[in-house]
């Protein structure tokens, strides 16, 4: 009798629902290599993201030193994976050797820099691409900036020596030319900078809201006309409000109480047209309001709106963030998150990104970015 060697058994391949379930627990950035294993794995990743645990918008934080304005690093929070990533750049933020101007944002998904000689802005989800344009005709220090269709509107925030502090200019990305528009309404003269004004975009209209009063005007980029005023303060108990778009609806985040005594932070949605009334979406849990206070009070609230998500922070408490996901249009799921981008001696710029797998694959393949899990 001839002895035979026992052959090792081959491991059974993982298929179908089991593979999709496994992928649902893998951080989004780590799914990139899985897409290239085989056609079956690529399909399983796609199915897992579509049916098991979908991709969610990211919060992106750029940090700059206080001594120079060059961006030194950036971080991203992925709500799907409940994970922070450090994004290492292998090329300058903007492909120039000279030092860039401070990066700013006044709209949730747009970043920009402005100087007397140049205006640059970034619109893509991971802010890999920067568009360069001539500077606006009016020199500004803290303008309102928003993309509306194929145009970028720059309003207010003019320097003291400029004749019109309410000047509005529109940059057409197709013709690459600036157009002078009708100035902002006179009622906003004392608060025309982004420090005091909240801006959001609905269709072809840019809405500007005075944060303390809720007074709102709408600028139509097709007719080049202003309409208003409208009142977007939900009720008299709200003393500070920030507008945005949430789940496709015009929405407001408001501080309830008074300066020095914030009792609540709430979200509302506008029912229909401007002036048609508002409905409450949700109220931040009390323990999270206290975390945002951080033992002191609110300076101002910075809000980033992307898709079904709202990211909120107290500018006086940099280490604490609150994330709200709106489910089915009216159910709020709140989460308190520690800010992994906090670093003494730096300023932070917050924006949102509707990140998709295509964006991450392009970023990885371009070798312009390396993503490290925190």
Token reading at 110: 């747009």
In this structure, the answer to whether residues 151 and 251 fall within a common structural domain is yes
| Residue 303 domain-assigned (yes or no) | yes
| Residue 325 domain-assigned (yes or no) | yes
Q: What CATH number does the domain containing 160 carry?
A: 2.120.10.80
In this structure, the answer to whether residues 113 and 21 fall within a common structural domain is no
In this structure, the answer to whether residues 37 and 172 fall within a common structural domain is no
| Residue 1 domain-assigned (yes or no) | no
Give the dihedral of Cα atoms 36, 39, 43, 44; nearest 10 deg. Answer: -70
In this structure, the answer to whether residues 20 and 104 fall within a common structural domain is no
Residue among 170, 111, 183, 102 nearest 141 (CA): 102
Burial class (CB in 10 A: 0-12, 13-18, 19+), 214: buried
Instruction: Map tokens 């961006």 to a residue.
Output: 71
| Residue 305 domain-assigned (yes or no) | yes
Q: What is the DSSP letter of 12?
A: P
Neighbours of 37 (CB within 10 A): 11
| Residue 142 domain-assigned (yes or no) | yes
29-64 per-position pLDDT tens digit: 889 888 888 888 889 989 998 889 999 999 999 887
277-306 per-position pLDDT tens digit: 899 999 999 999 999 988 777 878 899 999
| Residue 33 domain-assigned (yes or no) | yes
In this structure, the answer to whether residues 224 and 298 fall within a common structural domain is yes
In this structure, the answer to whether residues 167 and 109 fall within a common structural domain is yes
In this structure, the answer to whether residues 129 and 245 fall within a common structural domain is yes
- Using pLDDT thresholds of 50, 70 and 90, give the confidence band for residue 66: low
Helix (H) or strand (E) holding 180: strand 177-181
- The greatest distance separating any two alpha carbons of the chain, rounded to the nearest whole angstrom, comes to 105
C-alpha–C-alpha distance, residues 337 and 318, integer Å: 11
Determine the structural domain holding residue 43 and report its residue range.
15-54
Residue among 150, 86, 97, 145 nearest 121 (CA): 145
In this structure, the answer to whether residues 255 and 213 fall within a common structural domain is yes
Share of residues in the chain with pLDDT > 90 (%): 54
Total number of domains in the chain: 2
166 neighbors 180 (Cβ within 8 angstroms)? no
Pairing of strands 249-258, 119-122: unpaired
In this structure, the answer to whether residues 46 and 117 fall within a common structural domain is no
142-170 per-position pLDDT tens digit: 999 999 999 999 999 888 888 898 999 99
In this structure, the answer to whether residues 34 and 66 fall within a common structural domain is no
Q: What is the mean pLDDT of the chain?
A: 86
| Residue 3 domain-assigned (yes or no) | no
319-372 per-position pLDDT tens digit: 999 999 999 867 899 999 999 998 766 788 999 999 999 998 888 877 666 777
Neighbours of 276 (CB within 10 A): 9
In this structure, the answer to whether residues 314 and 337 fall within a common structural domain is yes
| Residue 7 domain-assigned (yes or no) | no
Neighbours of 332 (CB within 10 A): 16
pLDDT of 96 strictly over 60? no
């Amino acid at each position: 009798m001839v002895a035979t060697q026992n052959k090792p058994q081959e491991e059974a391949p993982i298929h179908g629902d089991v593979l999709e379930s496994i992928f649902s627990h893998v951080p989004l950035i780590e799914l990139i290599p899985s897409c290239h294993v085989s056609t079956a794995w690529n399909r399983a990743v796609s199915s897992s993201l579509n049916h098991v645990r979908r991709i969610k918008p990211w919060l992106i934080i750029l940090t700059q030193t206080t001594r120079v304005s060059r961006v030194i690093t950036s971080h991203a929070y992925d709500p799907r994976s409940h994970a922070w990533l450090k994004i290492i750049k292998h090329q300058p933020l903007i492909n120039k050797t000279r030092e860039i101007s401070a990066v700013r944002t006044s709209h949730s998904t747009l970043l920009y820099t402005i100087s007397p000689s140049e205006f640059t802005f970034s619109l893509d989800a991971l802010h890999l691409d920067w568009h360069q344009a001539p500077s606006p005709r009016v020199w500004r220090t803290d303008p309102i900036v928003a993309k509306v269709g194929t145009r970028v509107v720059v309003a207010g925030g003019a320097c003291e020596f400029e004749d019109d502090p309410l000047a509005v200019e529109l940059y057409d990305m197709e013709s690459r030319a600036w157009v002078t528009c009708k100035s902002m309404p006179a009622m906003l003269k004392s608060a025309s900078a982004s420090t005091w004004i909240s801006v959001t975009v609905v269709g072809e209209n840019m809405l500007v809201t005075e944060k303390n009063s809720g007074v709102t005007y709408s600028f139509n980029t097709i007719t080049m006309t202003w309409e208003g005023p409208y009142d977007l303060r939900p009720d008299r108990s709200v003393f500070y409000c920030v507008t945005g778009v949430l789940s496709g609806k015009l929405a407001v985040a408001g501080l309830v109480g008074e300066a020095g005594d914030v009792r609540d932070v709430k979200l509302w949605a506008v029912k229909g047209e401007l002036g048609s009334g508002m409905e409450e979406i949700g109220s931040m849990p009390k323990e999270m309001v206290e975390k945002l206070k951080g033992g002191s009070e609110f300076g101002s609230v910075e809000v980033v709106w992307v898709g079904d998500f709202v990211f909120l922070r107290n500018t006086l408490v940099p280490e604490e963030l609150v994330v709200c996901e709106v489910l089915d249009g009216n159910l709020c799921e709140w989460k308190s998150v520690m800010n992994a981008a906090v670093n003494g001696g730096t300023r932070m710029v917050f924006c949102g990104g509707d990140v998709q797998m295509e964006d991450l694959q392009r970023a990885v393949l371009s070798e312009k970015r390396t993503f490290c899990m925190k």
